[in-house]
Chain A
Amino acid sequence: MKFLRNQLDKVKHQFEKGGKLEKYFYAYEAMETFLFAPNTTNGQKGAQIRDAIDLKRLMMTVIVAMLPCLVFGIWNVGHQHFMAIGQAGATMGDKFLIGAIQVIPIVIVSYGVGLGIEFVFAILRKHPVNEGFLVTGMLIPLVMPPDIPLWQVAVATAFAVIIGKEAFGGTGMNVVNIALTARAFLYFAYPTDISGSVWTYLGDAQAVAGYSGATPLSIGAESVTTGESVVTALNSFGAGWNEGVFTLSNLFMGIRPGSIGETSTLMCLIGAAILIATGTGSWKIIFSVFGGAYAMGLLLNLIGGNAFMEMPAHYHLVIGGLAFGAVFMATDPVTASQTESGKWVYGILIGVFTVLIRVFNPAYPEGIMLAILLMNVFAPLIDYFVISANKKRRLQRATV
């Protein structure tokens, strides 16, 4: 450690004011503070002591909460690969290997491109490199389909970081969730690439007879025209090559095709438990998204009308990316509502809109993405009303 410290101290003067590498100071600082927590002390007046927390640790906590989703996702990509090519007997190791070969490059590209842009902006705009991308860089791969071309990951990440974040002033200033911006960008820029068999990695192998790239959401959307019960259609899907892939328990476990990290409701709930136990993610938001979606599902059940509307409400909680969105996307403190009562409204509306978009707008079956982006935009409005109420209480008091 001493050696490392000495090396850092030896080159430090070159990056400081007047040094020949002065303009790269923030790049140096990012590296230095990554290796060593800084030796800065609190000011002469005010708080002389500070809490042990910093933003790096906070972000690491979120990353750890995402690890179950990542590990499960890697296995699942492999598993779905072998199911689709008719080799159900493949070993666990093979599944992890194939999964890793497919997923790790996506993670590397996401971090590489994103952090690269962060450093460039930090140097150009002379501000410290913010830790926010540590989380975003992991979120992006988890919402990508496994068969996505790497260049698309790169383009989407670049778009999200530059347009979604830096254009607004960097970490803490962005209006919409950056990882979802990346996903939405792909969705609208390359619509044909992000549908069909993209949800399963096939590689060079041939899919088995009867293979279909349909997702539970698209089955739901189809049921509107066919009139067939969604539950029956889901239960019978995969016959012959991936028996029972869309049964309720399988949907909950997440052993099904889909984006890399968002298929498993169980893993998302483990992540939620970590976020809530550590106080990093808002439990209010997580609960209210699930609650809002379930309540809206129930309401649609009551109204009835078509097969998708009649789908049991709890199915909405396990299909698509609702759980992942609720736990990791909606809770982003920068883009979510920032008042405590506002968080309830924000979460409930995300849940409600997710189900509405799923059921009534089959052109965009993935409702959670659009619902969160929509509510990101409206979060300041929710806060505005909460803050106004606070001000009003104060004003009323004054007149009494």
Chain B
Amino acid sequence: MGKFIRLKKGFTINLKGKAAPKVVEIDQPETFVIKPTDFHGMYMPKPVVNVGDTVKAGSPLFHDKKHENVLYTAPVSGEVVEVKRGEKRKLLEIKILTDKKIEFEPFRKYSVSEIANLGAAEIKAQILKSGIWPTLVQRPFGIVADPAATPKAIHISAFDTHPLAPDYNVLFKGQDQFFQIGVDILKKLTSGIIHVNTHSTTEISTVFSQVKGAEVNKFSGPHPAGCVGVQIHHLDPINKGDIVWTINPMGVIQIGKLFLNGVYDSSRILAVVGSEVKNPQYYKTYTGASVKKFLEGNLSQDHVRVISGNPLTGTAISKDGHMGFFDHQLTVLPEGDYYEFIGWITPGARKVSFHRALGLLSFLSPGKERVVDTNTHGEPRAFVQSGVFEQVTPMDVLPTHLLKSILAEDIDEMEALGIYEVIEEDLALCEFVDVSKHKVQEILREGLELVQHS
């Protein structure tokens, strides 16, 4: 029997441009990309393909020099057209020009009864080879899971509370069987429980509610209730020395397909959302898709920011850029590079604010969907206001003090204050509400890297 956890603290940012619940099929994008920069904790990615090579979906593209068995594979079949490198020849992305029809690298197929008798080693070998392994994220640090480790639990957040987040009922509709098989397989990789964490107020898809062999927990409350780190904190917190894995339902379903169908099927549903998108809706595509086709003729203006991911934790990309490995949301917001005459005091309810300070009236109509641009609305300052981060962090963690310990590079203090329990997304709201405009997520990652490499 799962737990029911009520969270009070937090803030749901209600933005305009949510996706209408329909899935559209258009011509697939021509290019797909895998970016090593999407994966934390990568030591040195080493490409195993050259420009001109042809690959199938599931053929290896690169691997980390420190973990050569974890392969990062092609999401689609086609020809490698670019191996992009940055400063110091750091590998940035590998681009594939896709075939009309996708060809799959064959992996071993298993029947349901065979799967029941599989051992952990065999399972790991198949997932590692297929390129699905990197969907397993290891806490602490939010890095690609270490195949040699045995996590004390695996957590799956079955809902997303980020601004403009896609509805998982649409994303994973009809994938019940694959999700179930995926859970069955993952169960053999942990000494503990698989947690499937659902939202109490929205209708729960049968994909999650009917799953067997996992603990289905319910959460209520505003964002960040959907962040898996917050959920772990309340179900089975991470202590020093613990290892916990998290995985998006997408990854679980891919694992299910890998074992049942013997292919790395990276097909996914992408939500194209945001106030500047004419028809916010869902599209069928594959991991790492070029966003060009989804935006062409679909934008209400030109001066926009295109974000792979959600507005709180996403990455800005260009209008012909490519989606990140983990992202199932493409957000387009107005760019905010304008001056605003005495903008620091003008009253109004147009701008979203968690605060209620003089003239900030958005708290009066929380149900209204708003347009928010990328302006910083102020300049960076020293820490002044206290108690705000705590109001948007539904965990027994003191974000202000944790951040200060990171700025002071005090590793013992970071450990004591619970840095193992959080990654960027868990504290992203702090960055949003911060009066002093700190780069909270950047600071946190610096701290995580300090601890990880100490």
Contacts and interface: CB of A to CB of B under 8 A. Distances in A.
A41 B374 contact: yes
A338 interface: yes
Given A45-B316, A47-B432, A55 B384 contact: yes
B431 interface: yes
Contacts of A43: 439, 442
B382 A390 contact: no
B311 to A, nearest CB: 5
A282 B339 CA distance: 32
Contacts of B396: 390, 393-394
Given A39-B339, A45-B316, A394-B416, A33 B384 contact: no
Interface in B397-441: 397-398, 400-401, 416-418, 424, 428, 431-437, 439-441
Interface string A45-60: 1111111111111101
Nearest to B378: A54
B375 interface: yes
B431 A46 contact: yes
Contacts of B6: none
B417 A279 contact: no
B398 A48 contact: no
Nearest to B358: A61
A45 B315 contact: yes
Nearest to B388: A279
A304 to B, nearest CB: 39
Nearest to A383: B401
Interface string B291-331: 00000000000000101000111111000000000000001
Nearest to A44: B316
Contact of B312 (A35, A48, A64, A391): A48
Contact of B378 (A1, A56, A340, A393): A56
B386 A336 contact: yes
B163 A170 contact: no
Given A55-B436, A170-B382, A280 B357 contact: yes
B239 interface: yes
Contact of B358 (A37, A41, A55, A60): A60
A336 B385 CA distance: 10
A383 B386 CA distance: 12
Interface string A18-50: 000000000000000111111111111111111
Interface string A134-149: 0000000000000000
Interface string A323-362: 0000000000110101110010000000000000000000
A387 B356 contact: no
Pick the most buried of B343, B344, B373, B386: most chain A CB atoms within 10 A of its CB: B344
Contact of B435 (A35, A39, A54): A54
Interface string B155-167: 0000000010000
A388 to B, nearest CB: 9
A38 B379 contact: yes
A37 B348 CA distance: 15
B353 A53 contact: yes
A173 interface: yes
A1 B374 CA distance: 22
A277 B239 CA distance: 38
B435 A53 contact: yes
B340 interface: yes
A49 B437 contact: no
Nearest to B444: A46
B381 to A, nearest CB: 5
Nearest to B338: A39
B357 A279 contact: yes
Nearest to A398: B239
Pick the most buried of A38, A64, A340, A398: most chain B CB atoms within 10 A of its CB: A38
B387 A35 contact: no
Contacts of B333: 48-49
Contacts of B378: 37-38, 50, 53-57
A229 interface: no
A397 interface: yes
Given A50-B432, A130-B382, A278 B357 contact: yes
Pick the most buried of B341, B386, B398, B400: most chain A CB atoms within 10 A of its CB: B386
B442 A45 contact: yes
A390 B382 CA distance: 24
B449 interface: no
Contact of A52 (B342, B377, B416): B377
B379 A54 contact: yes
A34 B341 CA distance: 9
Contacts of B384: 55, 58, 132, 171-172, 333-334
6 interchain residue pairs of minimum CB distance: A54-B378, A37-B343, A172-B382, A52-B351, A398-B239, A56-B344
14 contacts: A33-B379, A37-B340, A37-B341, A40-B379, A41-B337, A43-B439, A51-B435, A55-B379, A60-B345, A170-B382, A279-B356, A338-B386, A338-B387, A398-B239
Given A36-B340, A47-B428, A60-B357, 9 more contacts: A37-B342, A40-B376, A41-B335, A49-B352, A51-B377, A52-B360, A53-B377, A278-B355, A398-B239
